[in-house]
Structure formats: C-alpha cells, structure tokens
Structure 1
Amino acid sequence: MELLNDMALFVEVAKARGFRGASEATGVPNSTLSRRIGALEKAIGLRLLHRTTRKVELTEAGQLYFERCKRIVDEARVAHEQLGDMLAQPVGVLRASLPVDFATIYMAPLIADFAAKYPGITFDFDLTPRQVDLVSEPFDVAIRMGEPESSNLIARPLAQLVTQLYASPMYLKRAGMPTQPADLAQHECLNILKASAWTLHRHKESVRVSTHSRFSINSVGLIRSLATLGMGIVLVPEKVVVDDLAAGRLVPVLPEWRGQATSVHALTETRLLPAKTQRFIEFLKERLAQV
C-alpha cells in the first residue's frame, strides 16, 4: 500500500513537472514529496527525475515508469471507487436478533416491505427473549424493548410505544370495572415477569399503583392471550391488541390513563455499520415512528 501511495505521488509530481504543483494538488509538503520520491528511486534502483532549481523533468526511465505507474494508479482508483460503491449497497446476509412478540406483532409487515425494497439482502433472524452477545455471536444488530442493559453496546433509539390498560368483558363482568388507578390493587394485573407496580399518567398527573398477579411471564403474546380469556388486566401498546379490540375480546380500562412508554432500541457492537444494517435501522426508525 505504501508503494502504491508513493507511485501516486510520483505521478502527481510528473504531471505537475514540479514539487510545488504536486504539493498543491495533494496537500503533501514539498519536503515530504522530495523524500518519498527519493526513497522510491532508491527502492527501484532508477533515477526517475532530473531536478534543477527551476523545474523537474522525467528521465527516460522516469517516463517509462510514469506511464506504467499512471496506469496502475488509475486502475487502483477505479477499483477503489467500485469497492466503495459495492460497500455502500445494502447487500448480503442481515443477521438480527429480535424479540419474539415484537417481531411477530409489529415487525412482520415492516420486514416484508424492507425485503421488497432491498432485494440484494437475505435475512437470518433469531427470535429469542435472551440477551444475545453481539461481540461473540454473529449478529449485525439486536432489536430490544426497554432500556439497554449494557453500556458497552451502541444503542440507537427507534421508537417509544405508549401503553394502555385493557381487559376482557368477561373479566370485568366478574371482577368489576376499575374507576381509578388505586382500584387496580384489587385486580389481577398481568405483568411482564415480576413487575410489582405500574406508573400511570393522565396529562400532568402521575400515580404509581401496586399490582399483583399469579403469573410471571416473559411473553407479551401470552399475556395478551390470557387477558382475552378473562385472566386479568394488561398494560400493553394498543398495536398489540388492535385485533382483539376490533373483535370485542378486549376493551379499554381507565382509558384516560396511559402507562410508561416502552422504548425500542437497535443495539450494535460498533458505530461503523455496513449498508445493510444501517438501512435496516433507518427503515425501522422511520416506520415505527408512524405506529
């Protein structure tokens, strides 16, 4: 690579017929150009330039070497540009770790649209609730809900999903309709894992209510299904239950109150991303903002 750089500098000196013009064209100081060309001459064992106080001229060997160097440098420049274009194109295998329910409920139509837009990308998706290791495992990106746990990864925010309360008519007929947040303490509240409290907001008002449940679940999909079967009240984004609302399997509870927004992030090991990963993250951020 250093030899190719020296050849490129020699070409600029030969074209400019002097070190000053070449320095202006390349931004390399005169003294550095002179030293690099001298080292090049020593390396190949040929005198390439006649140096005088007024100008620089090519020797016979220098003219032959210039023609060959120019061809090599031009070919290298074209190859570099083609490689840059190739790297800028979103192609290749995109390996992503996705949360099961979020991918199924939110991302399936987005993935279909993205795949249609970028036919050069193939997909390897791993749907799992576990925290994959982006350093040791071959993933380009992990999409996660909630605040990122690891400060060693680059977290790019994609969306904030507002949550609301829902329950089935059969549950509300049996347990009664809550009329204020404090009433939730007397209800079966289906939480993610072992969450023991919900923070609810109404305009500028905020309240934290204790909750309890017989279930500890790490799946939003299962929580939604249990809610439709009359097992309790859920606090989830509307998109999760939109079909159940339309079918009457669930109805809003305390509709003036909203839960804490759930953040969605794209996690990567580095900020330097190939085009396929960068486009995927940008696409998700744009589309999830419309949710």
Structure 2
Amino acid sequence: MALLNDMALFVEVAKARSFRRAAKTLDMPNSTLSRRIDLLEKEIGLRLLNRTTRKIELTEAGQIYFERCKRIVDEARLAHEQLDGMLAQPSGMLRVSLPVDFANTYLAPLIAEFAQQYPDIDFEFDLTPRRVDLVSEPFDLAIRVGESEPSHMIARPLARMPGYLYASPRYLETNGEPHEPADLTRHQCLCMTKVSAWTLHRGTQMEQTDVGGRFRLNNVGLIRRLATLDMGIAFLPQEIVADEVANGRLRRIMPQWQGSPVTVYAVTETRLLPAKTQRFIEFLRERLSRT
C-alpha cells in the first residue's frame, strides 16, 4: 500500500512538473513530498526526475514509470469511485476533447440535452484541432471522427456516418450539375489535404474518381464554408451540413451515390470509467444511433 501511495505522489509531481504545485494539490508539505519521491527513486534504483531551479523534467525511466503508474493509480481511484457511487447521481467535472466542426454543427444540442439530464456534472471542452494526449493530459475522453487509435487506447464506436456530395445552387447554375462520378473530374472539388480521389458507392457498385481543384484544406468547417460561397463541390457527412441544406445554401447532388461511412469514436485510456464518463458515452451512442 505504501508503494501505491508513493506512485500516486509521483504521478502528481510528473503531471504538475513541480513539487510546489503538486504539494498544493495534495495538501501536504513540499519537503515531505520531495522526501517521499527521493525514497521512491532510491527504492527503484533509477532517477525518475531531473530537477533544476526552474522546472522538473521526466527522465526516460521516469516517463515509462509515469505512463504505467498513472494507469494503475487512475484505475485504483476509479474502482473506489464506482463502488462508492454506483447508485449515485453522476457528478463532477467532465473534460472532453471534441472535433471542432462536428461539435459546433451537430453535438451542441446533444450536449445541452445531456447537461439538462445531469445537472450535477460540469463541463470543460477542448475544441482545438490538436490531438490531445489522454495519458498525460487531464481529459476523461476524446470524441474522434474516422481516426485510427494507438493500441493502448480504448476506442468505442458511437456511430457511422456516410459522406455525400454537396454544392451551392449558384455553383451548379454556373458550372452545371454532375450526375456520375466521372463528371467530377471536370469540377472544382473541395478536397482534404493529401486526398486526390473520392470513392463512391451506389448499391453494390463502387467507383473511384480522381478529384481536384484550386483548394486543398485540412479543416472541414472551411470546406463547408467555401462550398456555400460557390467555390466548389464538398464531400461531407450530412450531419456537418444540415443547417446549410435546410436554409438552401447547399444542395445534395448525385443523391444515388454515397461515400463509405466514417466512424465516430469515444476514446479513453482505460475501460474503467467513472459514472459521468460512462453516462456521456452511453448518451451519445444512443442519440447518434438515431441518425
């Protein structure tokens, strides 16, 4: 038990990169915390931290030890939380990394509905485009669309969303409307970076056609926006462009064709989750399955 306690202390120091900040979080004297980490390093026989007057850095051994210890400490803590609060109303701060465009256009009303159902949960959402590190950063989960995950992460599928073709009425008036995949080679297609072909399905028939244009982007929101500004044809899930289609700024074209479904995942670093995280994942899976 003493070793597990010292592992928990080390995890806090490694996360904070500071004895002073970790001691404040743990509500214990800085000197006591430093002494416990010194004893832990001596027991292991390896230096875990490089200490300077300004900051603390993990050694190579410290990084390996931190990744293992964090998982052990988190699962021990969550095991107690699950037993103590098995029947309790979920509560606490839920920290989630979300895809910017999918969150803004589709998840926002679902988040509001979930918040109304669980008034004791507070929320912190990160919508930056970077891929957060669920091991070293304080996130409960990440929602990701169509991305592969490292083998040590737990990816739970929430929904599968096929892609469709959309263009603005004015673009179609000016450039004509494609009817078959081969027609797309004569159009301005708003492509993701490093994508040079789109694969489309009609029943059991599959066609892959080269696409290109003046714009290549790595942001779905800008692709959607440029499509509404008559700059070309977009290939997106219908959930992303629902508002634009409803108000007539975009129109679905070649309706008999669709792209391969893209999977939406809830990603966590462990299978053992607190009630707040479990309920959020279950809620999104149930709502997204209706689409």
TM-score, shorter chain, exceeding 0.5: yes
Query: What number of residue pairs does the alignment pair up?
Result: 213
Distance 2:260 2:113 in 1: 29
Q: Is contact 1:154-1:267 (8 Å) kept?
A: yes
Distance 2:82 2:214 in 1: 60
Q: Secondary structure at the match of 2:123?
A: strand
Q: Secondary structure at the match of 2:192?
A: coil
Q: Is contact 2:153-2:268 (8 Å) kept?
A: yes
Question: How big is each residue's C-alpha offset from its partner over 1:236-287, in whole Å with a ceiling of 9 and x where there is no partner?
Answer: 1222222222322111211100012111001100111111111111100000
Distance 1:92 1:274 in 2: 10
Distance 2:154 2:82 in 1: 29
**How far 1:128 moved relative to its partner?**
1.8
Distance 2:150 2:175 in 1: 41
Distance 1:83 1:200 in 2: 49
TM-score of the two chains, using structure 1 as the length reference: 0.69
Distance 1:201 1:81 in 2: 47
**How far 1:212 moved relative to its partner?**
0.8
Distance 2:127 2:258 in 1: 28
Q: Is contact 2:167-2:230 (8 Å) kept?
A: yes
Q: Which residue number corresponds to residue 281 of structure 2?
A: 281
Q: Is contact 2:198-2:209 (8 Å) kept?
A: yes
Distance 1:112 1:202 in 2: 36
Question: How big is each residue's C-alpha offset from its partner over 1:72-121, in whole Å with a ceiling of 9 and x where there is no partner?
Answer: xxxxxxxx899623685411100100010011111100000111111111
Q: Is contact 1:87-1:274 (8 Å) kept?
A: no
Q: Which residue number corresponds to residue 143 of structure 2?
A: 143
Range with greater deviation from structure 2 (108-117 or 174-183): 174-183
Q: Is contact 1:200-1:206 (8 Å) kept?
A: yes
Q: Which residue number corresponds to residue 166 of structure 1?
A: 166
> Residues 81 and 251 from structure 1, CA distance in 2 versus in 1: closer, same or farther, beyond 3 angstroms?
closer
For residues 140-289 of structure 1, the aligned pairs below 5 Å read: 140-289=140-289
> Residues 274 and 188 from structure 1, CA distance in 2 versus in 1: closer, same or farther, beyond 3 angstroms?
same
For residues 41-60 of structure 1, the aligned pairs below 5 Å read: none
Does 2:91 match 1:99? no
Q: Is contact 1:87-1:275 (8 Å) kept?
A: no
For structure 1, the residue ranges without an aligned partner over 5 or more in a row are 2-79
Identity of counterpart residues, as a percentage?
Answer: 62
Q: Secondary structure at the match of 2:148?
A: coil
**How far 1:192 moved relative to its partner?**
2.4
Distance 1:288 1:115 in 2: 16
> Residues 167 and 270 from structure 1, CA distance in 2 versus in 1: closer, same or farther, beyond 3 angstroms?
same
CA RMSD of aligned residues (A): 2.0
Q: Is contact 1:175-1:187 (8 Å) kept?
A: yes
Report the structure number with the largest CA radius of gyration. Answer: 1
